[in-house]
Amino acid sequence: MSQHTPLTILSEEEMMFRDMVRSFARNEIAPRVMKMDEAQTMDPELIQKCFELGLMGIEVPEQYGGSDSSFFSAILTIEELAAVDPSVSVCVDVQNTLFNNAVLRWGNEELKQKYLPKMCSEWVGSYALSEPGSGSDAFALATRAEDCGDHWKINGSKLWITNGGEANLFIVFANIDPSLGYKGITAFLVERDFPGFSVGKKEDKLGIRASSTVELVFEDCIVPKENVLGHVGKGYKVSIETLNEGRIGIGAQMIGLARGALDAALDYITEREQFGKPIAAFQGVQFQFAQMATDLEAARLLVYNAARLKDAGLPFLKEAAMAKLYSSQVAERVASLSLELHGGVGFTKEYPAEKFYRDAKIGAIYEGTSNMQLQTIAKLLLRERS
């Protein structure tokens, strides 16, 4: 891609990959969306199909069983899935932009060979940072890890953990010495069947209900010494750098969701007639969906730009924060207007508008609230001025 190629222009390979995911989403996911939402459960068959299509190890090199593709391809995948069901999208998002990326960057060769082939073929991953008293203040961790010579012992709990219901392997952050502050935070790879580990309460959520969000409990959980991810005391770097990439993934979710909501609105207003013509023929309605489409395109440019920068090895922290902030705002606005354009039926479960509306709210909350994105953007702008 040349320096002057518009960011929305995709290569032939990227278009083929996108179209494959779009076909899968429309043919396989769409018929199950409402049933999964009502049951608050991801269809295991869909997860297996994601593995079969190579969507659970997009950036993982072929030597570990992955698709050996780009971060941008992962972003395209997340967007396409979210246009049909944000719940499936977040499952694939966490697997790729958080879990796999962290292992690829911070894992030693032994850990990569042990776990990445499973993550590309059968195991779901989860990222366990948040706690009851540690949200935006992510380093106020209460979970402790004790060095017991030939193993680590973890005690504590994690809250709001995405993919926790399905996951086989968790990246868990714990502090080895509270007196060290954030410099005591260490990342561990914890298998689901390790002694002392259990999955607790599953949250009953407003949106993305098929995506599991659970509590994790550690009661003298035994973790092998070799399962430290990165270095002891460097977990804060693992978390910060991984979440910077994860924000772009959330941005992709939000533009996918907004596109799904816009498409649903356009389908409805071109069919619904009032006063003898489709309501799409009225200027007042046209202005609304024109604004929705413009906002969506602006958000897409921000997300794609951040992803391209990441793939190019260039600084992207500010752009990632902007992409997440703005795309989550756009998703809320577009989903809300989509529901309104549906009129009364938009408030029912007969049409997809109400689900997109419920699903949109989480974008401003997880992987860094909107206020935290604003803080990041402001700090970086001031640093550029100094």
What amino acid positions are annotated as catalytic residues? 367
**Contact 251/327 with Cβ under 8 angstroms?**
yes
**Sequential DSSP letters for 335-369:** HHHHHHHTGGGGGSTTSTHHHHHHHHGGGGTTTS-
Helix (H) or strand (E) holding 104: helix 101-106
**Contact 101/64 with Cβ under 8 angstroms?**
no
CB proximity list for 282: less than 8 A, separation 6 or greater: none
CB proximity list for 264: less than 8 A, separation 6 or greater: 338, 342, 351, 352, 353, 356
Q: Which long-range contacts (CB under 8 A, 24 or more apart) does 175-182 make?
A: 175/141, 175/143, 175/144, 175/145, 176/144, 176/145, 176/146, 176/147, 176/232, 176/233, 178/144, 180/233, 181/139, 182/139, 182/236
CB proximity list for 107: less than 8 A, separation 6 or greater: 115, 116, 189, 229, 230
| 11 Rama class: left (phi>0) / alpha (psi -120 to 50) / beta | beta
